[in-house]
A = this chain, B = another copy of it.
């Protein structure tokens, strides 16, 4: 490890202690620029998903670099981003619970939102909220093309929703939301082409055709007709993105600094980062994170504030008191655990960044 990294560790531990979630702004800004370039090269607008950082400061940086607007996954995220002055927002999920609480109408009164639906119940709630806000609401129809999550499964179902939107004066058809699986882009094209014709037959056209996902950067631009892409994780990257082949270790902007607090057994060790720091989300990978200083150490288990290390494969084992840096498997859920991130640049602490949109109910 170089001197700069050693001195940064000292600075982190003396100022914040461990565990500590640390963002390297140089790496992050490089990632933000790369995402923009990937969208530019594919000829689609960039609409980053802010669920990864939940920070208006970082969202604004993405917009400064060229993003058209942002994507949120919760109403509470959109509220925080709107408070910070961001106005072009897609909320990429069926908002039922949040709509029925009146909070969707309250936000729609403040600014015109773009929301998503895959069913008539959500549309009815959106119409109600739009009426209450006295502002027409932009609706994207969410289409299922591989993830088996939300989204209508056929163009015919999408058309049923399109008719409802067309007939309701408080709703405006704004486009289509796709989240293709990695191998689902051909299928998505067929779905889109068929739906496009049917929409045109009733006088509608999709101003927005959105694709999503950082791993899908390998496919970006492949959908003829796509107008924008929404990717979240690429702002920080993580072990999952390395596994997906869209990032390297050097592209991982967020590291969790954690102390080795126990070495009670010869092949065992304990970190002060557990499931309440790194989360139990493995992202389908072995172990719960990559330790930069000891790549052969395996974080094999968590309790809430303990990370269990299997050190049997380590030639040089970490000692009690060592501070190590962990690249999380899934950075989006790790960031969501803390109220603030510590920001560093060129090996020095420069700021803290509030994870402002975290911890909210809806």
Contacts and interface: CB of A to CB of B under 8 A. Distances in A.
Interface stretch (A190-198, A240-248, A329-337): A329-337
Interface string A1-31: 0000000000001111111110000000000
Most buried by B among A95, A321, A338: A321
Most buried by B among A152, A261, A272, A323: A261
A171 interface: no
A75 B261 CA distance: 14
B264 A152 contact: yes
Interface in A53-94: 73-75, 93-94
Contact of A97 (B13, B265, B361): B13
Contacts of A259: 96-97, 100
A207 interface: no
A9 to B, nearest CB: 11
B276 A100 contact: no
A205 interface: no
A181 interface: no
A282 interface: yes
A150 B362 contact: no
Contacts of A359: 337-339, 355, 358-359
Interface of A: 13-21, 51, 73-75, 93-103, 118-119, 121-122, 144, 148-153, 257-265, 268, 270, 272, 275-276, 279-282, 302-306, 308, 320-321, 323, 332-333, 336-340, 342, 355, 358-362
Given A13-B97, A97-B18, A97-B258, A304 B153 contact: no
Given A97-B323, A304-B51, A150 B262 contact: yes
A304 B330 CA distance: 11
Nearest to A157: B264
A94 to B, nearest CB: 4
Contact of A101 (B17, B102, B148, B304): B17
Contacts of A94: 261-262, 270, 272
A156 to B, nearest CB: 13
B338 A16 contact: no
Contacts of A118: 262, 264
28 contacts: A15-B101, A16-B362, A18-B97, A18-B98, A18-B361, A18-B362, A20-B362, A51-B304, A73-B304, A74-B305, A93-B261, A94-B272, A97-B261, A118-B262, A119-B262, A119-B263, A119-B264, A148-B308, A149-B270, A150-B264, A275-B279, A279-B281, A281-B302, A304-B332, A304-B333, A304-B336, A338-B361, A339-B360
Contacts of A320: 96, 119, 121-122
Given A275-B281, A361-B340, A98 B333 contact: no
